[in-house]
């Protein structure tokens, strides 16, 4: 941690997990005046949400470490600012990533505002990321543990918010975090990492989504138009998906696995193909709603050479980024990318520095010769 924290009030987002608990330990060791703030952002008592358990774990950590715990309910803001968008994107046939919006709107939005009301000078979270201060700017950097680096999910957080944020775990690995928790006798040292939808938890996805959006079953077709099955609703599938298609062996077909390669929203048809198909490969994309943490990078207008990720934990991919006609960004990759999903984010990097990102809007795929799927970019998956 670069910042001087001694006697400064830091409001820590304490989830009840091991990461934020160790963040509290490190802040205390740095001499900060630490106050923990636990958020409740989802209230349905359906057996899948672990909010009550997490709150109790947070209480236990604070009691053991001797720091005060505050509790706030942001369920309304979460539904309005994150969950509504999540549903709208699925209804449009796209594949959203609510964690990015959750960070921008909740953890570094209304949470930050509430932290200031508690007298906080700085905000802290258990994210695996770092900031660097210099030349009057605050830059977002990857975490030292590249297997846990969460800068991808933080790319939409404003520079202003990052300037007031401390990431105590940025220079640690997950193994080190668990070891610190165990050495301090924290019961959460062995608590498993949370997965699933941000704040909603792990649950049967199809069942959950169907309670908010009406399912609309339809045909599963090959690119040549042959019907090979029925789908439960386009919103339940994403490009590259292999599991859950319900397509068995077919006469005259190979034993190669089937993959989702497109969605034809007009015909309500899910398009699938077998094996290692070029229909899942794209060498370029256009993206919208671009946000640059430190402003648009120099050289963007002429074509910016940098690295990018189109999904979390993907190795950095070399690309060129430039403004697209009609707004947005045009991104061309040196190597073709597999199963790029509209609605997800493309996030840009210069070395360890996260520059920002944008929402993937259209993909420009490497077409298989003679395939009926060959269409103009504006007709590609995700445009419902």
- Checking DSSP bridges between strand 281-292 and strand 329-338, what pairing results, if any? antiparallel
The strand pairing partners of 345, in sequence order, are 359
Q: In sequence order, what DSSP letters do the residues of 283-319 get, joined into one string?
A: EEEEEEEEEETTSSPTTTTT-EEEEEESSTTPPPEEE
Nearest 5°: phi and psi at 209?
A: -65, -35
Residue 107 DSSP one-character state: I
Task: Tell me the H-state helices in the chain.
Answer: 18-29, 51-65, 75-78, 84-91, 98-101, 111-117, 151-154, 159-162, 174-183, 205-210
Render the burial of 35-60: b for 16+ CB within 10 Å, e for the rest.
bbbbbbbbeeeeebbbbeebbebbbb
Sign of the Cα torsion 88, 91, 97, 102 reads: positive
Question: Reading across the β-sheet that carries 33-40, which strands appear in turn?
Answer: 69-73, 33-40, 9-13, 122-124, 165-166
**102, 306, 319, 354: which is the annotated catalytic residue?**
102
**49, 62, 198, 319: which is the annotated catalytic residue?**
198
Residue 285 and residue 382 in contact, taking contact as beta carbons nearer than 8 Å = no
Neighbours of 247 (CB within 10 A): 15
Q: Answer yes or no: 102 catalytic.
A: yes
Cα 331 to chain center, whole Å?
Answer: 19
Rounded to an integer, what distance in angstroms lies between the CA atom of residue 260 and that of residue 245?
8
Residue 61 and residue 126 in contact, taking contact as beta carbons nearer than 8 Å = no
First to last CA, the chain: 45
Structure tokens that stand for 159 in this block: 């520079």
Q: Answer yes or no: 49 catalytic.
A: no
Rounded to an integer, what distance in angstroms lies between the CA atom of residue 280 and that of residue 366?
8
The strand pairing partners of 218, in sequence order, are 231
Residue 283 and residue 268 in contact, taking contact as beta carbons nearer than 8 Å = no
Helix (H, G, I), strand (E, B) or coil at 354: strand
Residues annotated as catalytic are 102, 198
């Amino acid at each position: 941690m670069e910042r001087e924290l001694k006697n400064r009030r830091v409001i820590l987002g304490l989830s009840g997990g091991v990461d934020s608990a160790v963040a509290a330990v490190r802040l205390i060791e740095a001499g900060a005046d630490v106050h923990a703030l636990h958020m409740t952002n989802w209230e349905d008592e359906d057996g899948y949400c672990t909010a009550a358990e997490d709150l109790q774990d947070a209480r236990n950590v604070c009691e053991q470490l001797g720091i005060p715990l505050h509790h706030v309910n942001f369920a309304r803001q979460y539904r309005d600012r994150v969950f509504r968008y999540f549903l709208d994107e699925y209804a449009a046939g796209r594949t959203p990533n609510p964690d990015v919006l959750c960070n921008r709107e909740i953890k570094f939005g209304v949470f930050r505002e509430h932290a200031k009301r508690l007298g906080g000078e700085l905000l802290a979270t258990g994210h695996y990321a770092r900031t660097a201060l210099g030349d009057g700017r605050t830059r977002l950097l990857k975490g030292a543990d590249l297997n846990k680096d969460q800068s991808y999910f933080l790319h939409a957080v404003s520079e202003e918010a990052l300037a007031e944020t401390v990431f105590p775990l940025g220079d640690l690995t997950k193994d080190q975090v668990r070891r610190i928790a165990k050495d301090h006798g924290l019961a959460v040292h062995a608590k498993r990492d949370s997965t699933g939808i941000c704040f909603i938890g792990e649950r049967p996805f199809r069942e959950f989504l169907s309670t908010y959006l009406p399912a609309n079953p339809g045909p599963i077709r090959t690119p040549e138009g042959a019907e090979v099955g029925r789908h439960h609703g386009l919103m339940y599938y994403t490009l590259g998906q292999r599991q859950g298609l319900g397509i068995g062996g077919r006469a005259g077909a190979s034993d190669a696995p089937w993959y989702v390669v497109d969605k034809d929203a007009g015909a309500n048809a899910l398009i699938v193909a077998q094996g290692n198909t070029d229909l899942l490969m794209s060498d370029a994309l256009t993206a919208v709603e671009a946000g640059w943490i430190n402003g648009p990078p120099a050289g963007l207008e002429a074509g910016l050479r940098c690295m990018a990720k189109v999904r979390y934990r993907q190795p950095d991919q070399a690309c060129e980024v430039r403004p697209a006609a009609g707004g947005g960004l045009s991104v061309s990759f040196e190597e073709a990318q597999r199963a790029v999903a509209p609605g997800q984010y493309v996030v840009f990097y210069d070395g360890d520095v996260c520059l920002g990102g944008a929402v993937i809007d259209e993909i420009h795929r490497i077409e298989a010769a003679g395939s009926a799927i060959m269409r103009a970019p504006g007709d590609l998956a995700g445009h419902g």
